[in-house]
Structure 1
């Protein structure tokens, strides 16, 4: 067995480097790029990159639309960083928090030369690291990148597939709950060292028939501190109660906070909502898709637990589609309506109108 890092492990290391503000080298034969997160890059490192050559910033299509420009490479935009602009300009390109008070004014100089695969991978790493999806990129030659972690682009056919690491079952213990004393918590860990996910199994559900299940994404604000901006906490409570009353089932608790963008970006989205944007619009202004979660991880957990069919408690058709696509048959969609209040009425209306939730 090789002791070398797998591609998924290399990308996990890149994710950690991005969060620390450290650059990473992406290689394609003789071509090399140093890429770094626009959010975490320090001023001295920014100046160091600028000394190596012309700087570019890569942003997503949604962020480009917000800046009244366009994605010149399909789903991303590559924009030249003007020589008279510094790190503050780069961060303003990445962060929409001050867009209304001090909008970024173009025209921006787009970059068309060369391939955009390094830029696209850098944005994928930003997203998986729960950072703003914006990356600083500089093409280098020779030994300028010596000492930084390197990833060979030729080993990466599809970044999204690599970033979705496989899960392993780590541990199980009995945890009596208020709705059922007969409950066990299972912990699953991605093989790339990413965030762990959990399964709460109540009773002794049969593996030979569809199991009553809920695919629940972590929500610090709703699940833990009782936020009234969403319906997550009441849905979690109602799902556990329904499973207990049914006699057996599984609740999957996935660490995919804020529709997969992380808690820091979720708070950024909340701040944008206070400026008058809805949930989807806020995500787009940040540069994210409507929903960045990977529901296939839930299907993998169910498969590892021995299930191949579910009665899925959800109002989200995308979860049903993901389960079926992953080979976990959804025999029934069980509606789960809880937590409606006057403070989240607009939020729920947006989920129904723009995300197709059946409310």
Structure 2
């Protein structure tokens, strides 16, 4: 990435202010605790605000607070992925998410809403009610649930502009713009800063420095594992490796992540020219460890690795590559040779200004447990084995 493009990246008009970064980060924590947050959005130029609580950690106390905000005339809506709605009897629609509203508040409780949101559970029937499209604010709330690594399902009630101000002040609830939520990942990546580094000799590469990068809002750190002393005036050999607790740490045979990580370190060390493994905190293609375990449970029922993610309400791949591009830029590398079988990683890096001069194949034998997984990556995700 050239100096001029680096400046552009830092001043991208799509970035949200640093104060909003912190607000979104706090809202993520609130959502994980089962707290209510307020989201502002616009539909066809008209304001549409909602009070939101995540379906996964929903308690009866939290639901009652939400109902108190709504008043006795308004039942809460549960926003669900289309695939889950279809399994619950909704007629097919193209919208990725839809909302279900029961005929009355007394028809649902927190446990029932949690069951409705959980795609691993088979339900006999829903309470009486109707389906409707979701608003921009509710769509942003789903994005927030994904950032929290929760199931992408939320419970909402409408909030007027006057209510919004009162609730924020009287109950100390966070207020977020939908644009801030939707722009969070890019803005967080652009705010990454180096916070520490240390020499860490490894089994297959003794001359290694690990550099940690942290975003301004204090979110998850990404790591650069720098092997030897790669030159900055020619393409550097790198691997983008998404965190995988099961494969990297405990040796799971369901994926090829462990062999890919250790193989990349070994290959870079043997090259004699050095290189970098960027260890990105994007477990389970960006859905988080808990949801990855849920996806594994669905795979045991016959879903492939991509369909399992989508059955949970996520995209087949939720990863973003701006963090990797920003780390490379700050370390002074403009051009790379990329160890990968995934063409999406090439386009992902190049879209943020990094020149990929060569794709270096990075293949490992299957083990009997991951043959279907690898075949799916080849047939459906276009991996180049």
The verdict on a shared fold, with TM-score over 0.5 as the criterion, is yes
Q: Structure 2: how far apart are the matches of 1:70 and 1:17?
A: 33
2:56 match:
39
For 1:69, the equivalent position in structure 2 comes to 90
Contact 1:213 1:311 in 2 (8 A): yes
Which residue does 1:85 correspond to in 2?
108
Alignment of 1:193-208 (within 5 A): 193-208=218-233
* Unpaired runs of at least 5, structure 1: none
Give the whole-Å Cα distance in 2 for the aligned partners of 1:339 and 1:129: 34
Cα distance change, pair 104–214 in 1 and its aligned pair in 2 (3 A): farther
- The 10-residue stretch of structure 1 (71-80 or 339-348) with the greater mean CA deviation from structure 2: 71-80
Kept in 2, the 8 Å contact 1:69–1:108? The answer is: no
The offset of 1:104, in angstroms, is 5.1
After superposition, the Cα gap between the structure-2 partners of 1:357 and 1:48, relative to the gap in structure 1 and judged at 3 Å, is same
In structure 2, the partner of 1:147 is: 171
Aligned residue number for residue 335 of structure 2 = 309
Q: Distance in 2 between matches of 1:346 and 1:329?
A: 33
Q: How does 1:22-33 map to 2 (within 5 A)?
A: 22-27=35-40, 32-33=49-50
SS of 1:157's equivalent? Answer: helix
CA contact (8 A) 1:57 1:81 kept: no
| Secondary structure of the structure 1 residue equivalent to 2:115 | helix
Report the Cα offset of residue 88 of structure 1.
2.7
Counterparts of 1:274 and 1:81 in 2: how far apart (Å)? 33
Q: How far, CA to CA, are the matches of 1:277 and 1:226 in structure 2?
A: 22
Change (3 A) 1:72 1:55: farther
- Mean Cα deviation higher: 224-233 or 86-95: 86-95
Q: CA deviation at 1:44?
A: 1.4
- Report how far residue 10 of structure 1 moved: 0.8
Does the 8 Å contact 1:37/1:126 carry over to 2? yes
**Matching residue within 16, 19, 26 for 1:6:** 19
Between stretches 332-341 and 283-292, larger displacement belongs to 332-341
Aligned partner of residue 110 in structure 1, secondary structure: strand
Inter-CA distance 71–208: structure 2 relative to 1 (3 Å threshold): farther
C-alpha distance in structure 1 between counterparts of 2:302 and 2:92, whole Å: 25
User: 1:36 Cα shift?
Assistant: 0.9
Question: For 1:105-146, what per-residue CA distance to the aligned partner results, in whole angstroms no more than 9, with x for missing partners?
Answer: 58861235xx71210111011001100000110113434563
- Could you tell me which residue of structure 1 aligns to residue 76 of structure 2? 55
1:253-272 to structure 2, matched below 5 A, reads 253-272=279-298
CA offsets per residue over residues 205-234 of structure 1, 9 Å max, x none?
A: 111111000000011010010100000000
Root mean square deviation, CA, Å: 2.2
Structure 1 residues 139 and 307: alpha-carbon distance in aligned structure 2, compared to 1, 3 A threshold: same
> How high is the TM-score relative to the length of structure 1?
0.91
| SS class of match (2:251) | coil
- Pairwise CA distance, 1:190: 1.5
Number of residue pairs the alignment of both structures matches: 350
> Structure 1 CA distance, aligned partners of 2:360 and 2:127?
49
TM-score (norm 2): 0.85
Q: 1:21 to 1:335 in 2, by over 3 A?
A: same
Identify if the C-alpha distance between structure 1 residues 308 and 81 changes in structure 2 by more than 3 Å, giving closer, same or farther.
farther
Check if 1:134 corresponds to 2:153: yes
Partner of 1:292: 318
Structure 2: which 5+ runs fail to align?
Answer: 1-16
Q: Confirm or deny that 1:97 pairs with 2:120.
A: yes
Q: Provide the rounded CA distance (Å) in 2 between the counterparts of 1:263 and 1:56.
A: 28
